[in-house]
Structure 1
């Protein structure tokens, strides 16, 4: 379990044994029976400090209770056309598994526009994928392999990354902060592929600001990353944008379905959520409207990274007004 000692895990476990019933109940949804591994994740996120890890975990559980996160998998985004619009603009999908059994998530960073719905829908969608991963996919993988599988792999495609795409930096910071505070250490490795110049310029200034444990997880691969990724997964699990050198990740690629609502992963996820909603409230019609979650303030590190990125982008863009669009993200009520 890395830098985390068994003694620290036992100490944190003793502290968690005293939390009230509501926190204990949501903690079961967090750990899915892998209590020690979950405690280790929060300890890693706080460099092994038991007191800080305890505060982080308790804060996470309070966030879950206050925002009804345990119920979010029973709250579908409807109508289907709206969810399809979210999927077409928030490009994420699961392409398969590594040879070690870790789920492989593909994320189209460069081509995600995040402009077809309010912030709350994108946050809801992101948390639902997190919860489905943690409550359905990872327990199933653990059962199949007969050992705890509690993390995933993410392949980040930078194809199409432009200055205008980074105008959504505030939303990306919100989502990143939610993950940092409430889903720590869930990603084993981030593989970054198809990197244009703008990524290289931003990475140069952001990399020194990241914590060492985060930097160690990020691998920037040459080209589409095919050869390196085939060392850890079969070709069937490669995201479509890694299949051919130089192919990029065209939005019209025949393999793009990894992101699409029509892909089996998203079909299973969406059907699961609809079924959960019918099981939870069988007599009530499904209502349109996003599942509002308290949007966190970014930590000091996140704020510094966002500020540094904005400064670097201003240099690249030679002051054409991009910084105004970065700070002007719209958060609608619906």
Structure 2
């Protein structure tokens, strides 16, 4: 078992030399570190010019472990070797420590470094990396690992306050400043070199802002609206532990607390490691730390799983150019007019609030006008807006705001919403959002839920992450107005007026999308609606039929259909035959039925002929009784009572949009379409809000 810890950068707003004086007071023992009993120096060497000192200590620790475990392992104390290399010229302390006790069973190696902050000579940075490996320990590997992590966590949490404590002790003694080490001048050459070094140092000091200047810069940029991620990239830098290694941006501990929230020691470490890993993969390009943290949380801080899912998401964003959505997306007019959703202030915890009047949404109309991809693009635009709003909320509130809230109004939800293609589109959206925007949902408030809602929830909930499902709050009828209900999360002043609040909203009241908006002209019928569309478009002239052939291998499977008559009248029926027909879909003047009749083959009508008129929508399903071939047939229809003089011209066409699906008996658990086998008529766009769908 191997555990790695990599600390975020810790900044002491004191000069390096003063921090070193405070650090030395930890030896030979420190009452503030109870487990640190004592130490003895086994090596003490200083270079001839006095610039570098190496001190090696053997440290005695009283590890806090259960008494029984101490007796089993047979020790009361453990010993560590610590080697400190202080370079006064470079103003840097490198600390290396490893365990001496049980070194053949447990391997602990720690590297720490104190160094001057790159942006202020008066600040000191601290960074540490540790590796724990429990090889074998008499069956107590898990217990030993937990003890090691616990002790290490306690030591780290104490580290910064111990330095602060000893700096205050030095101040009480009148020590508030220690001069920077200067090399003795022994020759003209060395004197010249020293002058050059001093000049270089003075230039660096002139170029580097002091602590007050950095604080002013931070405050100004916060006021101007710089994002937390931008501030980090500009004002938090660290060096790698190896001399001369490439410098990389590093997370600051104080920055994490302020902009990302309180994390445990190991969570901070995972965040730092993922940041370094992704910077390497992205060739130095820094990702927002809030994004890294969201993917870590979604994978319970499993570094490898978070890295894998994040890489997949980055590839997805690049493939579909998601980063350009905010700047390039133009909201279609049909969405502006008929989509009942939008951002609406914040909830009581300062989270951005999105309101969706799902019960008023015409999912079918939206899918048939902008397609599934259009609906998905709209959703992604909303999510990208949400990320921007989170950044703004964090700056405004002065604390981490890492997720938003969703208020879903279900008034008006009925069986027409349980439309299979719409559910499929919804599930696709949920799947993509869950994969690429994890941990962005704070709360989901569902209000005015009708009786049909449990059916919809049963269908959709299995596709929602378990953690996200736990964030749903449900209110049936007017329960949301009760004390301790929705008002506990959204104030009366923010609650939209259509829910009884006092805040007017610009969210439209959803209506049925007029069928005249589905397609623009006859030329559109010569090609698919969209590359992503689940619908097919067909034009039929007088005498023509369009047939879809479905082969059923077993009885009990379910055939579903959904179609709209966009122009003229058509007839529809379903035919069964045991003759095998290979074509999947065909439009011609001769129907398969005529071919079967001519060939003397048997067939039967399993769904009788239905005449559908211009503007009607039809949904239905059929449970197969036999294995064989099922034919869905649409035909240009002319009323029998019309005379030839009243008949249609040869150039007139009927237009239909249709969708079919064949569900095997093995997977069939109840067809959504069978819940609403019906047809409806939309008389005019102006009355679309009252038309049944």
Structure 2 stretches lacking a partner, 5+ long? 1-261, 511-529, 534-667, 680-693
- Structure 1 match to 2:268: 6
- Structure 1 match to 2:342: 93
- CA drift at 1:201: 3.2
- CA drift at 1:216: 1.2
- Structure 2 match to 1:215: 469
In the alignment, structure 1 residue 54 sits paired with structure 2 residue 302:
no
Are the structure 2 counterparts of residues 174 and 113 from structure 1 closer, same or farther at C-alpha, using a change threshold of 3 Å?
A: same
Task: Find the aligned partners of 2:444 and 2:390 in 1 and give their Cα distance.
Answer: 18
- CA drift at 1:311: 3.7
Superposed CA deviations along residues 215-269 of structure 1, whole A, max 9, x for unmatched, are 211111243423422112222221344327xxxxxxxxx95622479xxxxxxxx
In the alignment, structure 1 residue 122 sits paired with structure 2 residue 479:
no
- Structure 1 match to 2:487: 230
- Structure 1 match to 2:414: 162
Task: Find the aligned partners of 2:460 and 2:428 in 1 and give their Cα distance.
Answer: 17
Superposed CA deviations along residues 26-84 of structure 1, whole A, max 9, x for unmatched, are x3xxx3xxx1x322211222233221111111111111122211111122426xxxx33
- CA drift at 1:106: 0.6
In the alignment, structure 1 residue 152 sits paired with structure 2 residue 399:
no
Task: Find the aligned partners of 1:314 and 1:321 in 2 and give their Cα distance.
Answer: 12
- Structure 1 match to 2:451: 197
In the alignment, structure 1 residue 18 sits paired with structure 2 residue 271:
no
Q: Which has the higher strand share?
A: 2
Superposed CA deviations along residues 91-141 of structure 1, whole A, max 9, x for unmatched, are 211221122211111112222113242223222222122112212x22221
**1:22-37 counterparts in 2 under 5 A?**
24=285, 27=287, 31=288, 35=289, 37=290
- Structure 1 match to 2:109: none
- CA drift at 1:169: 0.9
Task: Find the aligned partners of 1:209 and 1:74 in 2 and give their Cα distance.
Answer: 31
Task: Find the aligned partners of 2:461 and 2:532 in 1 and give their Cα distance.
Answer: 29
**1:232-247 counterparts in 2 under 5 A?**
232-243=489-500
In the alignment, structure 1 residue 320 sits paired with structure 2 residue 573:
no
Over alpha carbons, which structure has the higher Rg?
A: 2
In the alignment, structure 1 residue 66 sits paired with structure 2 residue 315:
no
- Structure 1 match to 2:385: 132
99, 104, 109: which one pairs with 2:353? 104
Q: TM-score, normalised by structure 1?
A: 0.66
Decide which moves more: 115-124 or 144-153: 115-124
- Structure 2 match to 1:325: none
Question: Taking CA–CA contacts closer than 8 Å with sequence separation of 6 or more, which of the two structures ends up with the larger relative contact order?
Answer: 1
Task: Find the aligned partners of 2:532 and 2:275 in 1 and give their Cα distance.
Answer: 28
Contact 2:348 2:490 in 1 (8 A): yes
- CA drift at 1:313: 5.8
Let me know the Cα RMSD of the aligned residues: 3.4
Contact 1:67 1:293 in 2 (8 A): no
Task: Find the aligned partners of 2:464 and 2:380 in 1 and give their Cα distance.
Answer: 23
Task: Find the aligned partners of 1:164 and 1:102 in 2 and give their Cα distance.
Answer: 32
For residue 191 of structure 1, give the secondary structure of its aligned residue in structure 2. strand
- CA drift at 1:150: 2.2
Return structure 1 stretches of 4+ with deviation > 6 angstroms.
1-4, 292-295
Q: Which has the higher helix share?
A: 1
Task: Find the aligned partners of 2:477 and 2:504 in 1 and give their Cα distance.
Answer: 18
Task: Find the aligned partners of 1:61 and 1:260 in 2 and give their Cα distance.
Answer: 36
Task: Find the aligned partners of 1:294 and 1:147 in 2 and give their Cα distance.
Answer: 42
Task: Find the aligned partners of 1:143 and 1:59 in 2 and give their Cα distance.
Answer: 30
- CA drift at 1:8: 2.5
Superposed CA deviations along residues 286-327 of structure 1, whole A, max 9, x for unmatched, are xxxxxx9999xxxxxxxxxxxxxx84564982x7389xxxxx
Task: Find the aligned partners of 1:71 and 1:209 in 2 and give their Cα distance.
Answer: 28
Contact 2:325 2:381 in 1 (8 A): yes
For residue 235 of structure 1, give the secondary structure of its aligned residue in structure 2. coil
For residue 193 of structure 1, give the secondary structure of its aligned residue in structure 2. strand
- CA drift at 1:162: 1.8
For residue 141 of structure 1, give the secondary structure of its aligned residue in structure 2. helix
- CA drift at 1:195: 0.7
Are the structure 2 counterparts of residues 20 and 210 from structure 1 closer, same or farther at C-alpha, using a change threshold of 3 Å?
A: closer
Are the structure 2 counterparts of residues 210 and 65 from structure 1 closer, same or farther at C-alpha, using a change threshold of 3 Å?
A: closer
Q: TM-score, normalised by structure 2?
A: 0.33
